[in-house]
Structure 1
Amino acid sequence: MLHNNESQNVEFKESWHDKYLEWVCGFANAHGGTIYIGVNDDGNVIGLSDSKKLLEDIPNKIRNHLGIMAEVNLKEDAHIHYLEIIVPPYDVAVSLRGHYYYRSGSTKTEYTGASLNEFLLKKAGKTWDNAIEPLANIDDIDVTSLNRFIAEAEGKGRLPDVSGLTPFQILEKLRLADEKGIKRAAIVLFGKDPGKFYPNLTVKMGRFGTDDADLRFQENEEGNLVYLLHEVPNQLNRKFLIKPIEFEGLQRVEKGEYPVAALREMLLNALVHRNYMGSMTQIRVYDHKISIWNEGTLPEGMSLDALKRQHPSRPRNPIIADVCFKAGYIDSWGRGTIKIIDACKEAGLPEAQMNEEDGGFLVTLLKTGVESGVESGVESGVESDITSQVLHFLSQKPLSKSQIAQMLGKDKPTRYLNELMNKLLSDGVVEYTIPDKPNSRLQKYRLKNND
């Protein structure tokens, strides 16, 4: 048995198939790795009948199909032969028949669409926002947005002296333009009509009831980043939130329906760190929670757990991030997610939920007061609110306890929810869908006499 276990850099295969060239490609595009052929998933050597032939064939196939070199060694364990393929990491992008693969965690993924574009730029030592937009010129820049940015950056001590400069010269100072033209970051930040260049510079907002099926109304805000940072909160105040919030220049905030400091960081992170060639940013407001999703997963090597502690700042769009730093919108220490967590803690809420979902990053806040009621059940007003929500859920369809917990924003049923469901059962308000099997995994609750 091999001492190595399957991991991000080690893969076991019982026999060789040419399809495994995809794994070689994935390791070459990531951090390198080792593939053992003739070894099962448990790390036990089972051997190869054609090991000597494969020892000659595999290096040739790797060279001919991938254009790279890999070290292939014949190994022996208790007189049983197996192969070791050592793949080094490559600085250039490696493809197999026009497809680009990547080793992420313990899985192999293929880059397509926007993620492929971002990968190729990274391998070339570039970022999307630092590239010149060949179809743009200074007339595509909204001077009002640029002046608003300069006014908000005053007093932060981060902006170079731009007094007396033309708009183009200011962009040069901010590294948003050079002798070759206007960069993509300038269009995103200050463009008159950025949607003309990149179609999804939009924030889509939807007001839902208790779940995604209950859409009540929606609105879109489209424009450059400076515009969206101010207009999205205004739109949320006008139509989506019960208690208005106040983003004073995006610097000082007041307490509202949700921890506003958390909302501010959620919006900034979603707009500054998103993949601008992907889908639009989406904000969903429910009766009991609010979530913000943006296209683009975490940087390579960054885990969800790292977001809860001090971690380095590794922005997807470093030019955009630097300009926003100069205005005081964000800092450069990777503290945005920590600020969200701290704001929820100060408001008496559990940690905000942060997940990678559908090729993007999702942050969810639970309404002030609701979740604390789920946990403790002490406040009679809050308890009544939770009960009414549960009864509303069950008026739509039968639900399991886990489903009810998720609709309340919990990963699993809490002690208070268990006690509440037992009380509703004993009071005859709800009943089991499978009365004779109360502990069945298929068990659900429904309102009594609710046909």
Structure 2
Amino acid sequence: MTLKDLRRLAAQGEGPRLEFKRSTGELQEALQTACAFMNGLGGRILVGVKPDGTLAGQQVSDKTLRDIAHALEGFEPPSRVDVERVPLASGLEILVITVPAAGGAVSLAIFDDRVEIWSAGALPSGITPEALSRKHLSVQRNPLIADVFYRAGLIEKWGRGTNRVIEQCRKHGIAPPTFEEITGATVVTFRAQVRLAVPPHETPHVTPHETPHVGAQAAKLLAACREPCARDELQRLLGLHDRMHFLRTYIEPLMAKGWLEMTIPDKPKSRLQRYRATAAGLAQLQGSRKS
């Protein structure tokens, strides 16, 4: 993760899948949060960040990293938790702890104009979403398994998987995919003219479970947010009861696209928090109605 990525993440403020800790003095609380994330939708913990999102930084010792590694070994069932150090200009560092969602499922969402593949967990340290579209370093999370697959002829060892996908897309006249990191998940999006065998008024089918989409329901949400609306009002509007499902499926994706924003971004958990459509969101809404 780059410093620019870190600043952008901290600017989002704390939420259901993002928490800030001032220092490793709060390491025990950070690990408790990691455990909660692991049992839910996953998320990120930024250690060295103030509650208002200011990057304070701290000295990160080898002992601290050993303590974290030792604590993670005690998690059952074992799960891949990424711990990354991001240096600041001051010489201090921010610890970024990325926790995958329970089960680490890969989800496929099919829409009229695109296919999205959501995979729990962030990219390996040193690899950015932009790097996946060009030549990049091959980082193997498990070298032993990678070596077995390589000897079996199932994979290469040169980090060309995403490049080969792009080559095949161009060969068949399909736009190359885009790669993103969104709240601890890696998202690959293929855009094309896809004809779906569903009635015109039905929502496209999503497998293996519901994942973020922008369709009729999201359009209804954006329309309601012409004026600031509370989360519970929006949930009732869509007839949804699960708060976390609502946030993950609608609010987070719309905010990530820049179509929805908080009225109190520096206090994401405020009881006075409201959501409103941005100019880009209203433009998207208008465009979808014309089409």
- Per the shorter chain, which TM-score range? 0.3 to 0.5
Which structure ranks higher in relative contact order (CA pairs < 8 Å, sequence separation ≥ 6)?
A: 2
Bigger CA radius of gyration: 1
**TM-score in terms of structure 1 length:** 0.28
**TM-score in terms of structure 2 length:** 0.40
